[in-house]
Structures are given as C-alpha cells and as structure tokens.
Amino acid sequence: MPALPSTDHVLERATSALQRCGVDHLTEVTGTGHPARTPITGEALFDVAVSDPADVERAIGAADACFRTAWRDTPAPARGQLVRRLGELLREHKGDLADIVTVEAGKIRSEAAGEVQEMIDICDFAVGLSRQLYGRTMASERPGHRLMETWHPLGVVGVVTAFNFPVAVWAWNTAVALVCGDTVVWKPSELTPLTALACHALLARAAADVGAPADVHHVVVGGRDTGALLVDDPRVALLSATGSVRMGREVAPRVAARLGRCLLELGGNNAAVVAPSADLDLAVRGVVFGAAGTAGQRCTTLRRLIVHEDVAEAVTDRVVETYARLRSRIGDPFDDTTLVGPLIGEGAYRAMAQALDQATAEGGTVLGGGARCLEKEAPDAYYVEPAVVSMPRQSDIVRQETFAPILYVLTYRTLEEALAVHNGVPQGLSSSIFTRDQREAELFMSAAGSDCGIVNVNIGTSGAEIGGAFGGEKATGGGRESGSDAWRAYMRRATNTVNYSTELPLAQGVSFL
Ligand code: NAD
C-alpha cells in the first residue's frame, strides 16, 4: 500500500501550488477560523476566513453593479477573450491546480489532472460559444413582418458547488456564464475552499490581463448559511447548485418562492446493465473504473450492477478479483501507483459502514472489500477498500445514494425486468448498458429505455466529456450544464416582432379599429 505523506509535506506542496496560482495570504491553523483540511491525513492545513453576511451582501452588490454597468453590454466575443485568457492560465497552472485538488479532495493524480483538463476544455468551448449565441428567425404569419428571438444576459449567477468536483463544476458554470454576459458569485463547498481561492486568483489575473472588470467574479467562503444568502437574494437571477438531493430539496422551494431560476445538479444512483452478449473484458474494466474510481465519490459513480443471470457469476467473480488487486493500490493520492485515494472524511466513512450493515440486514452478502485501511498511519483520515455486495433484490439501501465506493450487484432474466430495476430508483443521472446486441442498445437509449440524463453504451457511467449537456432527471434535479445548448439556462430570451410595412395587420386575423 503506498505510504502516506506527512501533513507537513502536504502543507508544503499546497502552499507552493497556491502561491504560484496567486494565493499567498493564507494563515496558519490557530483553531479559531474555518480549517481547510486535507483528507490525505485528515489534518488541518490553514485557517480560511469565512465570509460574513456583510461580505456576501458586498459580493452580490458588486457583481450586480458590474453586470448592469459593464458586463452585459460588453460584446460577447470580447467577453470570450476573458475566458480565453483564463484557459491559457489554466493550462499554465494545470499541475498546480491538480495538486490543490489532490490536497483538498484527495483525488489521485491522473483524476485531479483530468478535472483541470475539463476546465481547460470548457474554456475552449465557451470561447467558441461567445460567437455562437444564436437565436432563431421564424416565419411570420403577417406580411411585412419579421419574427425572431434574441438572447440576452441574465444577471448575477450564484454558483454553489460540491466537494467532489471542486474546480470543474465551477468552470462549467463560470466559463459559460461569463461569455453569456452574466457575473458570478461562487460559494464553494466548505470542504474545498483552497481550490476556490486558487481559481478566483487565476480568474482575477485573467481579468486584469484583458482589461475586464474585477467584479465579474466573487468568491464567498462558508457553509450552508452562506449558501442560503445566495439562495434568498432576488439579485441572484440564476442559482446553479450542485450537491446532494437533500440540498436540492432545501434550496429549490426557496428560490421558487421568490420566482427565481434554479439549475440543479444533484445526486445520482447510477446503474450499468451487463447483457449476455457483452464484451466482458471491456465491461469489467468499465465497471471497476466507474464503481471504485475517485473512491466512489463521483455523482456518476456506478452504484448498481444489473447483470444477466447467464453471465452474473463470471462478471461478479472478475469484479471481485479486480477489487482484491486494488487493495495494494489504496493510499497516498500523490503516489502514481495509487488507484484509490481517501474518502473526504469521517462522515463518509460512517455512511459507508452503516450502508454495508443495512445491506446485510436486507439480505445482501459482502463479496469483498469494505474494510477501513491505514488507520494506524493516519487516524484522522479515512481510506477504505471499495466494496462489492450481492443483493437479492433492489432493497431500500440500494435505492439510496451512499457517497462511498459500494457496488451492489443484482441479477436479471429479461431486459424488461432489468429496465424496471434500472429505473426503479428516485435519481436519474447516469446509466449504461454493455451489450453487442444493437436492438438492446437502441431500446436502452429509447423513450422506453433508461430514464437518465446520461445514457451510455459500452462505456461506464462516469467520465463525461464537456461537449454534451451534463445533468439528470427526477431527483437529480433536471438541470443541464456544460456543452450542447446548456448555455441557454444562463440567458434570457426575447421574442421580437418587427413590422416593416405600412399596414398594421393583427395576428390571428383579428380586426380592431
Ligand atoms: P452537499 O449537498 O452536502 O453540499 C453541496 C453544496 O451545497 C455545498 O457548497 C454546501 O455548502 C451547499 N449547501 C448544502 N445545503 C445548503 C442549503 N440548505 N442552502 C445553501 N447551500 C447549501 O453535497 P456534497 O457532500 O458536497 O457533495 C456530494 C453530493 O453532490 C452527492 O450527492 C453527489 O452526487 C452530488 N453531486 C452532483 C453532481 C451533479 O452534477 N449532478 C456533481 C457533483 C456532486
């Protein structure tokens, strides 16, 4: 098992990466401020200043004024230049940001670098988008008239993010919101304030370099109470919130009460169907990365394996075997040989242990994994062996998202049965089918198939590209971010009817005067 680094070593690495990104005002841990911790050792690294309500008020006020007086009137391609510069700085500081993601979220090196690459990719996308905010022209029913739609900036976008994608989700929102002419106030997870300070410093530098106003972006640091100030403020035209279903249930009615707009990206309970014709080598690799990668802490993590009974034993045996090999690769996420880093903290570990107990009580059998590791070396850190649990049916615990690496295995006889199990959970984020039967693949992607926002064939549930719209249905919240036409959520649409004739014909043939 890769040995763990000392907290001093992690601190040194974090300090130099933060300084290179332009953050050099962090204070040592005194026990009085908000501690920024690393899950690698579970210990605190810095005290971070928490924003009080007056700070949040100032941030929203400044972002709102910047929107009204400068940013919404800046031509979209010129707004794109800010995002282009941000993309350049992200390329330059890819290693630094990846280091901070590893320090704060515990991601292994290649996944942390992949997350930063996603930021770079969305910047490229948004720069192109800055010249493609297209509206439609429709045929008017009246002679001498033109009917069209135009898209305008919306206002201040409040971005609330989760700990597990501390930088990519911010970039999906911010790169697109900025080219759409919106300004942004970001409330990162209280578990990952350092990554937020680093991103903010890079964006501030990009703004200075291209002459954009500094107030296009603000960060406020704090927990739920700080987030709630964005939720309730009528100047926040769009609240884009990523996190648990519990958070969405709290936030959505409050934004609705002020008739504001919400974009929700909430929890998933993702499944893969493995059909008898599947390429099993490919399926097992896809399943193991989807279920154990990022220590089971992705919204798209594979949590349910629905496997045909003819191949169930073969697939399960191979997954359990591969999991056994992962055991020697759990540990320091900075070590290139590590495949499974730490859980974010004690709460995640307790939730995993409770879920395994409940699964057993509901008739399940733990086929492998589930034990805590490295607790002697780092008593405040939580490393676990990813677990595989065979379940007799889709019981209560299987229908819940436990944000830890537990893969429940269920079997099926007919595809119809598999689909009923697949869709029989509250969440609807990501799904996949492994099959070489085109009819099955097409049915899975059809209206009668998977009810998720992401529906894959012969790849796992996690690891989306930025070009598509990302998000899910049902309790996942219905929001879409990132590529395709997700930008429309960040703008308001005006329908324009222009009369260039000398007559005044009324629509639907109405006559008056
Ligand atoms: P969380 O819900 O605990 O917190 C997410 C964010 O919401 C944090 O910034 C938190 O401070 C804030 N928050 C929580 N309650 C709030 C409230 N009442 N008012 C205002 N703000 C509030 O989630 P987490 O543990 O950080 O992240 C894990 C969860 O996020 C999982 O459920 C995961 O599936 C989900 N997630 C979803 C996506 C997606 O795109 N669908 C992406 C990443 C994570």
The one-letter code for the residue type at 102 is T
Indicate whether 293 pLDDT > 90. Answer: yes
Give 431: exposed, middle or buried? Use CB within 10 Å, 0-12, 13-18, 19+. buried
Indicate whether 295 pLDDT > 80. Answer: yes
Considering the chain, what percentage of its residues have pLDDT values greater than 90?
97
CA gap 479, 487 in Å, rounded: 11
| Structural element, H or E, at residue 365 | strand 365-368
Q: What's residue 29's pLDDT? A: 73
CA gap 329, 387 in Å, rounded: 14
Mutate to test the pocket of ligand 1, among 173, 247, 294 (most ligand atoms within 8 A of CB): 247
* Stretch 101-107: mean pLDDT: 98
- pLDDT tens figures, 412-431: 999 999 999 999 999 999 99
Q: What's residue 26's pLDDT? A: 80
Measured from the CB, is residue 370 less than 6 Å from ligand 1? no
Distance of CA 208 to the CA centre of its chain: 28
- For ligand 1, atom 41, which residue shows the shortest CA distance? 265
Distance of CA 116 to the CA centre of its chain: 13
CA gap 15, 211 in Å, rounded: 28
Q: What's residue 2's pLDDT? A: 72
Q: Ligand 1 centre from 55 Cα, in Å?
A: 22
Question: Running DSSP on this structure, what letter comes out for residue 162?
Answer: -
Measured from the CB, is residue 401 less than 6 Å from ligand 1? yes
Q: What's residue 476's pLDDT? A: 98
Measured from the CB, is residue 193 less than 6 Å from ligand 1? no
Q: Ligand 1 centre from 417 Cα, in Å?
A: 32
Q: Which of 43, 104, 118, 265 is catalytic?
A: 265
Cα torsion 480, 482, 485, 489: sign = positive
Measured from the CB, is residue 427 less than 6 Å from ligand 1? no
* Stretch 95-102: mean pLDDT: 98
Mutate to test the pocket of ligand 1, among 245, 299, 400, 406 (most ligand atoms within 8 A of CB): 299
CA angle 436, 442, 444 (to 5 degrees): 95
Mutate to test the pocket of ligand 1, among 191, 224, 349 (most ligand atoms within 8 A of CB): 224
* Stretch 370-398: mean pLDDT: 97
Least confident of 21-25, 291-295, 338-342: 21-25
CA gap 66, 60 in Å, rounded: 10
- pLDDT tens figures, 119-162: 999 999 999 999 999 999 999 999 999 999 999 999 999 999 99
Length of the chain: 513
Q: Does residue 265 have an active-site annotation? A: yes
Indicate whether 33 pLDDT > 80. Answer: no
Question: Running DSSP on this structure, what letter comes out for residue 41?
Answer: T
Measured from the CB, is residue 170 less than 6 Å from ligand 1? no
Considering the chain, what percentage of its residues have pLDDT values greater than 70?
99
Only one residue has tokens 């989306």, namely: 464
Atom of ligand 1 nearest to the CA of 299: 34
Measured from the CB, is residue 265 less than 6 Å from ligand 1? yes
Question: pTM for this structure?
Answer: 0.97
Measured from the CB, is residue 231 less than 6 Å from ligand 1? yes
Question: Among candidates 282, 281, 401, 286, which has minimal Cα distance to 348?
Answer: 401
Indicate whether 28 pLDDT > 90. Answer: no
* Stretch 306-325: mean pLDDT: 98
Mean pLDDT over each residue of the chain, to the nearest integer = 97
Only one residue has tokens 């005044």, namely: 504
Mutate to test the pocket of ligand 1, among 244, 258, 402, 482 (most ligand atoms within 8 A of CB): 244
C-beta atoms surrounding 27 within 10 Å: 11
Distance of CA 367 to the CA centre of its chain: 30
pLDDT band for position 27 (50/70/90)? confident
- For ligand 1, atom 30, which residue shows the shortest CA distance? 243
- For ligand 1, atom 23, which residue shows the shortest CA distance? 243
Measured from the CB, is residue 347 less than 6 Å from ligand 1? no
- pLDDT tens figures, 427-475: 999 999 999 999 999 999 999 999 999 999 999 999 999 999 999 999 9
CA gap 460, 136 in Å, rounded: 36
- pLDDT tens figures, 173-225: 999 999 999 999 999 999 999 999 999 999 999 999 999 999 999 999 999 99
pLDDT band for position 24 (50/70/90)? confident
- Alpha helices by DSSP H, listed for 22-108, are 53-69, 76-92, 94-105
* Stretch 11-24: mean pLDDT: 95
- pLDDT tens figures, 81-93: 999 999 999 999 9
Q: Ligand 1 centre from 384 Cα, in Å?
A: 22
Q: What's residue 492's pLDDT? A: 98
- pLDDT tens figures, 55-75: 999 999 999 999 999 999 999
Longest dimension (CA), the chain: 88
Indicate whether 227 pLDDT > 90. Answer: yes
Measured from the CB, is residue 173 less than 6 Å from ligand 1? no
pLDDT band for position 3 (50/70/90)? confident
Measured from the CB, is residue 230 less than 6 Å from ligand 1? no
Q: What's residue 191's pLDDT? A: 98
pLDDT band for position 326 (50/70/90)? very high
- pLDDT tens figures, 252-278: 999 999 999 999 999 999 999 999 999
